[in-house]
Structure formats: structure tokens, C-alpha cells
């Protein structure tokens, strides 16, 4: 099979042996696979795939059709449209995925949407709801509202009855992010717009002190992105006064059973919203698998709003 | 009535008007009232009482008999032995306390035990269980294991089936803290004793970096004491890898309904353990109310293990 390949920090599209589904696994003919920030880090050698995942094929999400099943796999039939997060190996013509972390694709979604949603929507839903426990009527601040996880979090927060504010650095994106349901503000001076109940941190440590300032009592700061920096001073005295909770998380290294839990939460809470059209997957561009190098370059340039997705076959 | 009095950072025992119970409140003839670190801070002018609490009478906990009830108060009968946390005013011959934050005193407890337990056991139970969610089989690290909250947390953790480690600076206290059910270690090098599921921080910011190092996956750092310092650098990258949760809390400024919730949690989970003798309240010394200055001096010297409690009447 053909697959995006990272070897010695060089990206190319190469032939690989076809994978074989093991116990409980589906062999998926991949039709679309989104790019994510983690792929860029992995390309630079900064984010190796966890043990058990393909080490040289990037890709944290995919959508496609089940074309074979390993022993005991019974959740899906051959031909079913499925999607899911994977620990690696998603950007390939074929992938084996445990059936417990696959989800059915709603009928109204096309392949690029299905292949570009699992990582960002699972990350956003897990962070904002499962972990930070956002509730109807609460105020959510999303740092980095124009990014993939940011646009997902804004839509999910709004759909759940929260009031959503988002920081967006690029003024060109303000109106489009606002249309997703957020009050959009510039990052500078965000701390004056609180108090917020939940703050989703997708930018990094430089925001930490302002986040604590802008947080309400019993507020939660959910840290899942730190591209702007990892280390910052924390004032525990102020944190105690606010009964603040600083939650930190990453999805990729979690074991199968925890990823399966996130897939069930997606099926319960997010797929119905996608199926009804209440929320959608912004797509910036699609590239055929063979043009993966160009897709990575486009991703690296930044400034996009929406997912960049590789498409395979058809 | 007589009461410990703080005026212009000077401590004395003075006459005050008798308080009158309002709607839902009990008038309590106080028999014992523990001293806490917060009293020392308030004496120095560093921790003013929250609005609504007596400003010049310290004391965050008390035990005594109900001698009058305001309109609508019906949880307790006259003569009932009660105890509870208060936002201030506990170190007096009389106190008015809302009935929802009072708890019945188990028969086997004497007055100094009852007057010295509400603050530290409520703080420990709320932090370790209600907030940090310690579960049977998990490992708990208590920083400052010889203090009031520390000795309470060790006993509660042990009684709930957790494995408890405690740092204790004073070697003279190691064996007595060990008898409460903890593996006792010196503070130096504690980070090599992990991984811990819950770390109760009663010392301060200098431990933060080591706490993160010693934390297991999905571990919780519960910060409720920062006498050794409030500010420290936090490595969000390491925190994300561990899916760490940094919870911060203080009990005193919470509104009535939240304090009432802590009292119900105490009645459900802690009072049965006190009544059965499974856990107990270490008392270092008792002083009559009129000797409050000496009691505060003793508290300020440190080096004690167990509560210092003022006693009134009888």
C-alpha cells in the first residue's frame, strides 16, 4: 500500500506492506485522513509515535470503509463507513484499527469531513466536557479559536448551551470564527473579558497567568496545546482563592480502553450534532495522498481556517 | 460573653455582646474551639475574616451545646452536642452557627476532640476525597504529615484503603506519624518515592516541581497550604504527558450552601470512623479560653503534633 512516510525527518509517499487485522481489529480502506499539529512535530522528530503504533507512517485520524475483520471483530460489517482516532498510521491507503475506537460515519458527512473530524472533535469534547465538565449557561474561553480543536470546541460549547468567547490572532478569521458561535476577541487583554468557568488552552504557557486572572470561582483551565511555550509561573495563592483547577491532557498516548471511552462519548454527544447539521467540520483544503508533501507545506504555512485533509482513491 | 479578640494585630480576651441566633441559626454554648494556622495569619492582619463573619473574634471551628434556636431552626434540640466549621468567631463563650453547617458530636468524643476536629478533618476530607477523588488502592502523598490537616488526611486515606506516604520535617515526629498509618519520609528527595495518584500539598510552591515529577498518570495535586511560598514554575508539557490535575482550594470563603455540603460529607464518611474509633483526633494541648495568648504562643512555636484547643466553662 501507499503511505505518507517519515524517515530521518524526511517526508515522502512510499510503498509499504499491507497491514493485517489482528484480534478485534478492522482493516480499513482509508478514504480521507486529516493533518494535525502533531504530524508536524513528528515530522521534525519531536513527537515519536507511542509504542505499538506505526513508527514511520504519520496520521492520527482517518475515515474509510471496513474491508476485512480480524478474529472476534463484530461491531462493523464489511463496507461500513467508519472513522476514528489512531495513535499513528492514519495517512495511508490501508490501516488496521481496533473496532472499539471506530465510530460510524453519519450519512450526511462526505469523506474529507469524516477523515478530518475525529482528532479535533474528540480532543475538544474530551477536554471541554469529559474533563473540564462544561455545563449549560457557563462561560467558555477558547484560546486559539481559529484552529482545528478551537473551531470544534466553539461549536460544541455553543451547542451545549454555554456562552463562548474565543481569542483569534489573525483578524482575517474573526468574522468566520464568530459565525461558529463565539464572541471573538484579540489575544491581547483577554484577561479583562472574564470571569470564565472553563478556559481551553490551545496556545501555551504565556497565557497561564492571564487565564488565572480571568477565571471564575471553581473555574477550570484545560491545557491541551502548548506550541507557544511549556513553562510559566503559577500563583498558587490566587489559584486557591479561586478554587481553580488546572487540568492537563493529551490524547495520543492513552491506552485502548481510554480511547474507546472517548469514542463512545463522541457517539453519544457529538455524532448526533453532526448528523443533524447543528455543527460542521470546516475544511480548508484537500490533497490527494500522493501530494502529501504539498499538504504538509500548506499546513506548516498556517493562516488557514479549517482542516487540511488527504484523500485516497475514489 | 468572653471571646478571643484581635484588634490592631493585638490578641487579648475581652467582653463582647452576646450574639443572637437569626433564621436557621443555633446559639451554641461553646465548650472547645481549636486553633488553626489561619488564626495566626489573621492575628498578623494577613487573613481578614470574610464578610458576614465576626471581624474581631478569630476561630474557624467549635464544639458545644445548642442553648437557643432562631426562627425555623429545627435540625437540633436544645442541649444537643454539636460541632462545625465557622468563618470566624469560634473562639468565644457563645457563637451563632447556621444549623446546616453543624454536625452531631459522636458520643465517644470529648469536648477538646470535638472542638479540634471540624476544620482539619473537613479540609482533609474535602480535599483528598470530594475534590481529588482518592480511591481504594491508590497511593496518597501528604506533604506536612505532622500538621493538623496532615494527620487527618493520613488517617482518612488509610481508612479508605489507600496506601499513604507522608513527608515530615521533624524527625522527632516520624514514629508517631507512622503510627497513624503512613510510610514516613523526609521531605528531601520525596520525588523519588512516586508515582502517587494524589498529592496533598500543605507546605507550598517549592514542592510543585517535585510533585509533578512524582505524580502518576491521571494524578491529582491538591493544593491547600502554601506557607512555604505561593509562586513556582509549572511545566505544562510534563503536566500534559501525565494528564495531571492541579486542584487548588480553600474552605473559609465558601458560601453557606457549599459548607453545608462539606458537613453532610463529613456526616456520611468521617463521623462513623470517629464513632468507631477507627480514626482519632490527636490533641497536643488544651488551654482555658482566658489563656488564649499562651495558646497562640504555643501554636506559633510549632513542633507540636496534634491540635491546640481552647476550652470554655465546665
Residue A144 lies in a domain: yes
Most B-contacting residue of A236, A239, A240 (CB-CB within 10 A), to test interface: A236
Instruction: Assess if residue A209 is contained within a domain.
Output: yes
* Helix/strand/coil for A263: helix
**% of chain B at pLDDT higher than 90:** 90
Put simply, whether B205 touches A (Cβ < 8 Å) is yes
Report whether pLDDT(A314) > 70: no
Cβ B235–A231 below 8 Å, yes or no?
Answer: yes
Query: pLDDT tens-digit profile of A57-100?
Result: 999 999 999 999 999 999 999 999 999 999 999 999 999 999 99
pLDDT at A50: 83
Contact flag A249-B240 (C-beta cutoff 8 Å) = yes
Same domain, B19 and B87: yes
**Residue B230: which pLDDT band, with cuts at 50, 70 and 90?**
very high
Q: How confident is the model at residue A53 (pLDDT cuts 50, 70, 90)?
A: confident
Q: Are residues A126 and A240 in the same domain?
A: yes
- Secondary structure class of A104 (helix, strand, coil): strand
Query: Is A7 inside a domain boundary?
Result: yes
Structurally, chain B folds into a number of domains equal to 2
* Beta strand pairing call for B215-223 and B245-248: parallel
pLDDT at res. B314? 59
pTM to 2 decimal places:
0.94
Do the chains contact at B236 and A231, CB–CB below 8 Å?
yes
Q: How far apart are CA A60 and CA A63, in angstroms?
A: 11
Residues of chain A with Cβ-Cβ distance to B127 below 8 Å are none
Q: Which residue has the higher pLDDT, B42 or B75?
A: B75
Considering the domain architecture, whether residues B209 and B293 belong to the same structural domain is answered as no
Q: For residue range B218-229, what is the model confidence (pLDDT) as tens digits?
A: 999 999 999 899
Render pLDDT for B91-142 as a digit per residue (tens, 0 to 9).
999 999 999 999 999 999 999 999 999 999 999 999 999 999 999 999 999 9
Q: Are residues B126 and B42 in the same domain?
A: no
> What is the DSSP track for chain B?
-EEEEEETTEEEEEE-PPP---TTEEEEEEEEEE--HHHHHHHTTSSPPPTTS-SS---SEEEEEEEEE-TT--SS-TT-EEEEE-SS--SBSEEEEEGGGEEEPPTT--HHHHHHSHHHHHHHHIIIIIIT---TT-EEEEESTTSHHHHHHHHHHHHTT-EEEEE-S-GGGHHHHHHTT-EEE-STTGGGG--EEEEEE-S-GGGHHHHHHHEEEEEEEEE---TT-SEEEEEHHHHHHTT-EEEE--STTS-HHHHHHHHHHHHHHTHHHHHHTSS---EEEEEEGGGHHHHHHHHHH----SEEEEE---
Q: Inter-chain contact A233–B232, Cβ cutoff 8 Å?
A: yes
B127 with B239, same domain?
Answer: yes
Cβ-Cβ contacts under 8 Å, A205 against chain B = 234, 236
Would an 8 Å CB–CB cutoff place A159 in contact with chain B?
no
Q: B170 and chain A: CB distance < 8 Å anywhere?
A: no
Same domain, A137 and A82: no
**d(Cα B267, Cα B38) in Å, to the nearest integer?**
24
Query: Is A261 within a domain?
Result: no
Domain boundary among B199, B217, B248: B248
With 80 as the cut, is the pLDDT of residue A306 above it?
yes
Residue A130 inside a domain? The answer is yes
Asked whether residue B88 falls in the same domain as residue B125, the answer is no
B237 part of contact set with chain A, CB < 8 Å: yes
CATH of the domain at B90: 3.90.180.10
Q: Do A294 and A189 belong together in one domain? A: no
Decide if A35 is inside a domain: yes
Q: Are residues B275 and B236 in the same domain?
A: no
| Mean pLDDT (chain B, rounded) | 95
Question: What are the pLDDT digits (tens) for B240-268?
Answer: 999 999 999 999 889 999 999 999 999 99
pLDDT at position A226: 92
Examine residue A70 and state whether it is found in any structural domain, yes or no.
yes
User: What is the rounded CA–CA span in Å between residue A166 and residue B139?
Assistant: 38
Q: How far apart are CA A55 and CA A89, in angstroms?
A: 8
Residue from the list B208, B241, B249 with its beta carbon closest to the beta carbon of A250: B241
Of the partner residues B204, B208, B239, the one whose CB lies closest to the CB of residue A223: B239
Are A248 and B239 within 8 A, CB to CB?
yes
Please say if the pLDDT value at position B65 is more than 80.
yes
* Residue that finishes a domain, picked among B248, B271, B302: B248
Contact B240 A224 (CB under 8 A): yes
Chain A residue whose CA is closest to B204? A236
Which helix (H) or strand (E) element contains residue A196?
strand A196-201
Claim to verify: residue B170 and residue B243 sit in the same structural domain: yes
Within 89-128 of B, beta carbons closer than 8 Å to A belong to none
Q: Are residues A159 and A91 in the same domain?
A: no
**Chain B CB contacts of A232 below 8 Å:** 233-234, 236
Which chain B residues are closer than 8 Å to A246 by Cβ?
234, 239, 245-248
Domain boundary among B226, B248, B270: B248
Q: For residues B174 and B199, state if they share a domain.
A: yes
In a domain, A257, yes or no: no
Residues near A169 by beta carbon (within 8 Å), at least 6 away in sequence: A146, A186, A187
H or E segment to which residue A254 belongs? none
Domain span at B109: 2-117+252-311
Amino acid at each position: 500500500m501507499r503511505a505518507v512516510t517519515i524517515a530521518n525527518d524526511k517526508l515522502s509517499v512510499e510503498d509499504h506492506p499491507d497491514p493485517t487485522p489482528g484480534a478485534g481489529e478492522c482493516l480499513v480502506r482509508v478514504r480521507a485522513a486529516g493533518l494535525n499539529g502533531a504530524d508536524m512535530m513528528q515530522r521534525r522528530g519531536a513527537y515519536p509515535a507511542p509504542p505499538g503504533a506505526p513508527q514511520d507512517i504519520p496520521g492520527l485520524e482517518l475515515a474509510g470503509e471496513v474491508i476485512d475483520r480480524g478474529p472476534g471483530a463484530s461491531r462493523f460489517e464489511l463496507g461500513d463507513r467508519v472513522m476514528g482516532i489512531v495513535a499513528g498510521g492514519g495517512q495511508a491507503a490501508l490501516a488496521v484499527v481496533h473496532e472499539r475506537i471506530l465510530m460510524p460515519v453519519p450519512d450526511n458527512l462526505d469523506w474529507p469531513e469524516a477523515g478530518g473530524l475525529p482528532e479535533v472533535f474528540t480532543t475538544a469534547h474530551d477536554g471541554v466536557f469529559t474533563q473540564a465538565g462544561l455545563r449549560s449557561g457557563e462561560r467558555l474561553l477558547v484560546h486559539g479559536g481559529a484552529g482545528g480543536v478551537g473551531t470544534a470546541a466553539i461549536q460544541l460549547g455553543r451547542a451545549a448551551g454555554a456562552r463562548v468567547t474565543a481569542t483569534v490572532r489573525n483578524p482575517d478569521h474573526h468574522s468566520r470564527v464568530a459565525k461558529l458561535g463565539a464572541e471573538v476577541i484579540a489575544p491581547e487583554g483577554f484577561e479583562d473579558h472574564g470571569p470564565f468557568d472553563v478556559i481551553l488552552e490551545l496556545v501555551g504557557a504565556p497565557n497561564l497567568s492571564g487565564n488565572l486572572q480571568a477565571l471564575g470561582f471553581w473555574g477550570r483551565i484545560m491545557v491541551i496545546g502548548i506550541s507557544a511555550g511549556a513553562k510559566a509561573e503559577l500563583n498558587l495563592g490566587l489559584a486557591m482563592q479561586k478554587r481553580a483547577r488546572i487540568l492537563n491532557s493529551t490524547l495520543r498516548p492513552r491506552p485502548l480502553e481510554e480511547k474507546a471511552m472517548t469514542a463512545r462519548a463522541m457517539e453519544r454527544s457529538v455524532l448526533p450534532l453532526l448528523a443533524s447539521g447543528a455543527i460542521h467540520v470546516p475544511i480548508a483544503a484537500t490533497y490527494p495522498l500522493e501530494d502529501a508533501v504539498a499538504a504538509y507545506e500548506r499546513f506548516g504555512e498556517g493562516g488557514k481556517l479549517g482542516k487540511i485533509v488527504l484523500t485516497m482513491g475514489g
